[in-house]
């Protein structure tokens, strides 16, 4: 069970974990802040282990078995507790992750977060441990006002050509959060516990609820856009954009983006940042390119099939 502490002092996990190769990790001190950085719910399906690796870097491992999986049935994160560490993965820590997940009965284990490529390549430790890259994303940054002008122009052009039907409604996500959470979970775009964390504000990239929207048409939800506002760097980040499959490539995408950026114009924002899949989001990539977007990162999630 996930253990958390609301006292801002050090917490020690009295856990020893033995790997298949007979290596044992000793207990290590973990702050309550570090434990709260693990995004998984506090339940029997969550395991947290802390240890120093052979490289003298302390790690915190979180593994979660999904109770209602849409696709994969397991997620994991590794936090580097030593700020001087190069990155969060080592061969030892990944072997420990696999052993914990296998003992929990997880068959398909996937990284919780998309991980930046290392010098343009997959992280060697992940590949060596048998993980395969999936779901690559490109992170783009574009001047906000330029993107907003182009998005508005496209929406107006569609409306002028009667390509946007009457009767649709734009509704704040906080009014339809349960429906949106179910849709995103079933589509595999965002796990339900991750949605709850971001909705409540218990996440690094929590939703800016005043700017997260959904589009309803003929009584059905056909579009969702979720954003985070990073005030300190004056950046508006699109976290998730979902369009119902029968409406993809239609007016729904234009309305979603136009409404989101229209609200963003009301606050002090310099840049728009978002992730796009090079295969699925050609329309958005084209719009961003014409607005002067630059690629600032490429990231992937990684998956492995475990033996029972």
**What HEC string does 47-111 produce?**
EEEEEECCCCCEEEEEEEECCCCCCCCEEEEEEECCCCCCCCCCHHHHHHHHHHHHHCCCCEEEE
pLDDT tens per residue, range 219-240? 999 999 999 988 888 898 988 8
Classify burial at 158, counting beta carbons within 10 Å of its beta carbon; exposed 0-12, middle 13-18, buried 19 or more.
middle
Percent of the chain with pLDDT over 70: 83
- Residue 131's nearest CA partner among 102, 103, 113, 111 is 111
* Residue 147 host element (H or E): helix 144-160
Classify burial at 179, counting beta carbons within 10 Å of its beta carbon; exposed 0-12, middle 13-18, buried 19 or more.
middle
Classify burial at 250, counting beta carbons within 10 Å of its beta carbon; exposed 0-12, middle 13-18, buried 19 or more.
middle
Distance CA 179, CA 11 (A): 37
Distance CA 77, CA 61 (A): 6
Q: With beta carbons less than 8 A apart as the criterion, state whether 193 and 39 touch.
A: yes
State the chain's mean pLDDT as an integer.
82
The residue-averaged pLDDT of 279-299 equals 79
Contacts of 76 (CB under 8 A, 6+ apart): 61, 62, 63, 64, 97, 101, 109, 110, 111, 112
The residue-averaged pLDDT of 262-272 equals 85
pLDDT band, very low/low/confident/very high, at 70 (cuts 50, 70, 90) = low
Distance CA 165, CA 75 (A): 40
Distance CA 101, CA 99 (A): 6
pLDDT tens per residue, range 78-118? 987 775 444 567 888 899 999 999 999 999 999 998 898 88
Residue 254, pLDDT score = 92
Q: With beta carbons less than 8 A apart as the criterion, state whether 75 and 304 touch.
A: no
pLDDT of 163 over the 50 cut: yes
- Cα 299 to Cα 26, 101, 133, 144, 218: the distances in Å are 32, 23, 10, 22, 37
Residue 23, pLDDT score = 39
The residue-averaged pLDDT of 55-75 equals 81
Residue 2, pLDDT score = 45
pLDDT of 30 over the 50 cut: yes
Distance CA 195, CA 203 (A): 10
Question: Domains plus CATH for the chain?
Answer: 10-113 (no CATH), 137-299 (3.40.630.30)
The residue-averaged pLDDT of 266-278 equals 83
Residue 190, SS3 per DSSP: coil
Residue 283, SS3 per DSSP: helix
Measured in degrees and rounded to the nearest 5, phi and psi for residue 76 equal: -150, 155
Identify which has the larger pLDDT, 283 or 61.
Answer: 61
Using the structure block, give the residue that is written with the tokens 């783009």. Answer: 140
Distance CA 147, CA 250 (A): 19
pLDDT of 9 over the 80 cut: no
pLDDT band, very low/low/confident/very high, at 34 (cuts 50, 70, 90) = confident
Residue 19, pLDDT score = 38
Q: With beta carbons less than 8 A apart as the criterion, state whether 28 and 52 touch.
A: yes
């Amino acid at each position: 069970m996930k253990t958390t502490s609301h006292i801002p002092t050090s917490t020690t996990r009295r856990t020893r974990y033995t790997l298949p190769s007979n290596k044992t990790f000793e207990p290590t001190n973990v702050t309550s802040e570090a434990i709260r950085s693990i995004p998984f719910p506090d339940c029997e399906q969550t395991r947290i282990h802390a240890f120093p690796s052979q490289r003298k870097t302390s790690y915190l491992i979180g593994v979660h078995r999904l109770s209602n999986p849409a696709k994969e049935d397991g997620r994991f994160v590794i936090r580097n507790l030593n700020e001087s560490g190069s990155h969060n993965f080592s061969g030892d820590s990944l072997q420990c992750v696999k052993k914990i997940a296998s003992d929990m009965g997880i068959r398909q284990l996937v990284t919780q977060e998309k991980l930046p490529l290392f010098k343009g390549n997959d992280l060697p430790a992940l590949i060596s441990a048998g993980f395969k890259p999936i779901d690559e994303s490109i992170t783009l940054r574009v001047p906000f006002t330029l993107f907003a002008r182009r998005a508005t122009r496209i929406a107006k052009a569609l409306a002028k050509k009667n390509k946007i039907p009457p009767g649709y409604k734009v509704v704040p996500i906080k009014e339809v959060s349960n429906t949106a959470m179910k849709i995103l979970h079933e589509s595999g775009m965002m796990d339900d516990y991750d949605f709850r964390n971001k909705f409540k504000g218990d996440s690094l990239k929590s939703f800016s609820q005043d700017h997260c929207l959904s589009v309803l048409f003929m009584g059905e939800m056909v579009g969702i856009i979720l954003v985070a506002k990073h005030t300190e760097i004056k950046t508006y980040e699109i976290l998730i954009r979902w369009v119902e499959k029968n409406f993809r490539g239609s007016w729904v995408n234009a309305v979603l983006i136009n409404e989101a950026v229209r609200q963003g114009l009301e606050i002090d924002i310099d840049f728009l940042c978002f992730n796009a899949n090079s295969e699925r989001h050609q329309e958005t990539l084209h719009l961003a390119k014409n607005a002067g977007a630059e690629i600032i990162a490429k990231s992937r999630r990684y998956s492995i099939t475990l033996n029972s």
